[in-house]
Amino acid sequence: MKFTPETYSIPDRPGEPFIDANEIWNYIETADSTAENVHRVIEKALNKNRLTLAETAILIGAKSPELVKAIKDGARQLKEKVYGNRIVLFAPLYIGNKCSNNCLYCGFRSTNTEAVRMTLEDEQIIKEVEALEDNGQKRLILVYGEHRDYDADYIAHTVKLAYSVKRGHGEIRRVNINAAPLTNEGFAKVKEAGIGTYQIFQETYHPETYKKYHLSGKKADFNYRLSSLDRAQDMGLDDVGIGALFGLYDWRYEVMALVRHTNHLEACYNVGPHTISFPRIQDASLLNVDSQHFVNDDDFAKLIAILRLAVPYTGMILTARESARIRSEVIHFGVSQIDGGTKLELGSYSANLNEKQDLNKEQFKVNDNRSLNEIIDELLDDNMLPSFCTACYRLGRTGEHFMEFSVPGFIKNKCTPNAILTLTEYIVDYAPNDTSHKGWKVIEKNLNDLQNDDMKQSVLQRIEQIKQGKRDLYY
């Protein structure tokens, strides 16, 4: 695998700003998106090479339906050939929605007096985690507003608490975080608490637009936020997630900037982001966003496919903000993780609330309200392999996507067997009959595809052990 570095107007230095808006626009405006160039760039990505910004811009400029189809087909092929059919599942857990920032797209913003504020007590966190475990979840992302109550000590405390909750065979094996940037010491503290990924979305990489939508509070400082994951890396927290909130500014610019951010992390720390998120703006309490840059479904599918091709060894997260219909379509363009059974209202997993969302109690509208099991059913019907695997993180194998992508046999020897074993646990512990019937069929098919007989025998043995009560077996 090769990545040809480009020279940028602002050289990459740890902790320093790296976004030049004019430079990004210049790439977009000068891209020569002829059919020949677009096919050449797709071919390059399919040969497992990272794309430069100039090449990403060529894909962005492709307009004709044939070329857009070629980009989507390329992304689908890359995903199928390189990663196979696994999809990792997780759930978000909102811990507290107090917030001192004033982000105009968010229902939790400080000036929203309609918002019902709440921070879960420890007892409530335990109940929420138990309810999530009872549904079969193994991976959580804890979410917080930015508030003095949610400092690094508090976040670390809640992470440890979530890991400590065990019910029946249920346990949480990976806790990720989506929260405000911390100080250097803060990042070290949460790393020590055993988190997986620390996600911080830049929201928009366009400085003027950023200013327009972040009126006050710490988050109003564009560069402080931009450099935050550098500080995480400086403290040894090398598993970070980036993202942009699509709809604040031109999607083409944000895609380029996400690739630029990836290049910055690689240049400074030799490791790119673990995941990229691409949420689209949804309705929220007192939402105050100009609709000029809202992204339509066609452009959304195209941008996901372009990201897949541009950063082939980064995980891509698609959330329940999107409807079931959109999720089923775009999942094929390279998505590696989705949430299931998502509820945003604080305390709602254990209260088993299923009524209509009250936006004054939640950050934004969720459009896919299906249960985890319904999502698993659909994945199985589609011949995909739902996975709750947490093996790499627990064995200290960081850069797992990179390994999946570049180490020969890694997927067949680690990822697929681990997906099969975690799906087996789900079937044995939580699945209704119909789901287990479909699940065993998918497991059988994936076992047959393993080819290596020793590995197949070993997985079969472990499946038997799970049936007899053993848990948490992985390669």
Give the residues lining the site for ligand SF4 (CB under 6 A): 99, 101, 103, 106, 108-109, 145-146, 219
Phi/psi region, residue 417 (left: phi>0; alpha: psi -120 to 50; beta: rest), is alpha
Q: Would you state the torsion angle of the CA atoms of residues 131, 133, 139, 141, taken in this order, to the nearest 10 degrees?
A: 20
User: At its nearest, how many Å lie between ligand SAM and the CB of residue 381?
Assistant: 28
Site string for ligand SAM, 157-196 (x = CB under 6 A): ---------------------xxx----------------
The reply on whether position 233 binds ligand SAM by CB under 6 A is no
The reply on whether position 143 binds ligand SAM by CB under 6 A is yes
Q: Residues with Cβ < 8 Å from 307, sequence gap 6 or more? A: 255, 258, 259, 276, 278, 316, 334
User: At its nearest, how many Å lie between ligand SF4 and the CB of residue 109?
Assistant: 4
Nearer to ligand SAM, 50 or 147 (CB): 147
User: At its nearest, how many Å lie between ligand SF4 and the CB of residue 106?
Assistant: 3
Helices 53-60 and 251-269 pack at an angle, to 10 degrees, of: 160
The reply on whether position 242 binds ligand SAM by CB under 6 A is no
User: At its nearest, how many Å lie between ligand SAM and the CB of residue 473?
Assistant: 34
The reply on whether position 227 binds ligand SAM by CB under 6 A is no
Of 371-430, binders to ligand SAM (CB under 6 A) are: none
User: At its nearest, how many Å lie between ligand SAM and the CB of residue 179?
Assistant: 5
| CA gap 92, 169 in Å, rounded | 20
- If one counts every other C-beta atom within 10 angstroms of the C-beta of residue 22, the result is 8
* Dihedral pair phi/psi, residue 87, rounded to 5°: -135, 125
Look up residue 114 and give its DSSP letter.
Answer: T
Q: Residues with Cβ < 8 Å from 407, sequence gap 6 or more? A: none
Nearer to ligand SAM, 268 or 287 (CB): 287
| CA gap 220, 211 in Å, rounded | 7
User: At its nearest, how many Å lie between ligand SAM and the CB of residue 106?
Assistant: 4
Of 313-342, binders to ligand SAM (CB under 6 A) are: 321
Nearer to ligand SF4, 68 or 103 (CB): 103
| CA gap 435, 365 in Å, rounded | 28
Element (H, E) at 7: none
Nearer to ligand SF4, 366 or 455 (CB): 366
Question: Which partner, ligand SF4, ligand SAM, none, binds residue 321 by CB below 5 to 8 Å per kind?
Answer: ligand SAM
Nearer to ligand SF4, 99 or 152 (CB): 99
Q: Where are the alpha helices (DSSP H) in 235-366?
A: 251-269, 297-310, 324-330, 348-351
| Residues of the shown chain interacting with ligand SAM in the complex, contacts defined by CB under 6 A | 105-106, 143, 145-146, 178-180, 200-201, 203, 245, 279, 281-282, 284, 287, 321, 363-364
